[in-house]
């Protein structure tokens, strides 16, 4: 599948929102923590990227709620809050979730208490959500910074999904979703391409972008 017709994307694209802000030369003393919302198509490598970024104590992470079943190795309360559809609907009705969306037939949402606790740690916060969720967060939390993780090509996504053992019908559906999600990159503050086989490069680019956002003059504390 690789090779012919493969369209490579630029390594780092800065969106129009970020372009309005310069990066200050002087560091701001005790700046408020950032809320960095990371999204991208299924199979682009967001989980591996998040694990690498969270390996140190530099970032905090709220735990997302979902109705999907755990994958092998996932731990309830660590990777996700795994709940029933009934419990998720109750969380929506009570206003417990900052955002929620249905993705590939499963519900995902960000508990408000989880996000407040992460911000209360004083560290910059990384929140991994789907593309719909990221855009919803921007509408309710103006100071959130949105980062889109893009593939080098759709072949990269297809290969990752096959390695997960995803069936052909589901792969076709997710590739169609990926095409639609790639069209929404302009709504994000920046786009970083996940380099296949070189996660360290992607991690370094994300860290550099976050450092620039952290130094952005005049930014306000995140209110949830």
pLDDT of residue 175: 93
Tokens 């993705």 identify what position? 103
User: Distances in Å between the alpha carbon of 205 and those of 4, 125, 131, 192?
Assistant: 28, 17, 20, 7
CATH of 12-23+30-60+124-214, one of 3.40.50.300, 3.40.366.30, 3.40.50.150, 1.20.1250.20: 3.40.50.300
Q: Which residues of 123-143 are buried (b: 16+ CB within 10 A; e: fewer)?
A: ebbbbbbbbbbbbbbbeebee
Confidence of residue 13 (pLDDT cuts 50, 70, 90): very low
Query: Does 17 or 79 have the greater pLDDT score?
Result: 79
Domain boundaries, the chain: 12-23+30-60+124-214
pLDDT > 90 fraction of the chain, expressed in percent and rounded? 70
Average pLDDT, the chain: 87
Cα 200 from chain centre: 17
Q: Which residue has the higher pLDDT, 26 or 75?
A: 75
30: pLDDT strictly greater than 90: no
Q: What does the pLDDT look like over 37-96, one tens digit per residue? A: 999 998 899 999 999 999 989 999 999 999 999 989 999 999 999 999 999 999 999 999
pLDDT > 50? residue 2: no
pTM of the model: 0.80
Average of per-residue pLDDT across 129-154: 93
Contact status, residue 59 vs residue 118, Cβ threshold 8 Å:
no
In the sheet that holds 97-103, the strands lie side by side as 81-82, 65-66, 106-111, 97-103
What per-residue confidence (pLDDT) applies to 25?
A: 42
| Nearest C-alpha neighbor of 34 from the set 59, 64, 13 | 59
Q: 97, 110 in Cβ contact below 8 A?
A: yes
Query: 1 pLDDT exceeds 90?
Result: no
């Amino acid at each position: 599948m690789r090779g012919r017709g493969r369209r490579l994307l630029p390594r780092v694209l800065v969106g129009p929102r970020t372009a309005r802000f310069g990066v200050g030369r002087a560091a701001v003393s005790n700046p408020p923590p950032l809320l960095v919302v990371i999204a991208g198509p299924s199979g682009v490598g967001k989980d591996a990227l998040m694990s690498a970024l969270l390996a140190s104590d530099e970032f905090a992470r709220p735990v997302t709620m979902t109705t999907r079943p755990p994958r092998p190795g996932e731990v309830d309360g660590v990777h996700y809050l795994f709940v029933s559809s009934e419990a998720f609907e109750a969380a929506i009705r009570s206003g417990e979730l900052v955002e929620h969306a249905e993705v590939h037939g499963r519900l995902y949402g960000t508990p408000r208490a989880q996000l407040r606790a992460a911000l209360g740690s004083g560290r910059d916060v990384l929140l991994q959500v789907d593309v719909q969720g990221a855009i919803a967060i921007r509408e309710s939390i103006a100071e959130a910074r949105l980062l889109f993780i893009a593939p080098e090509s759709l072949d990269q996504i297809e290969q990752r999904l096959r390695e997960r053992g995803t069936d052909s019908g589901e792969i076709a559906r997710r590739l169609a979703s990926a095409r639609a999600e790639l069209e929404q990159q302009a709504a994000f503050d920046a786009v970083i391409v996940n380099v296949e086989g070189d996660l360290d490069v992607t991690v370094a680019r994300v860290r550099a972008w976050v450092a620039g956002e952290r130094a952005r003059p005049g930014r306000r504390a995140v209110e949830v």
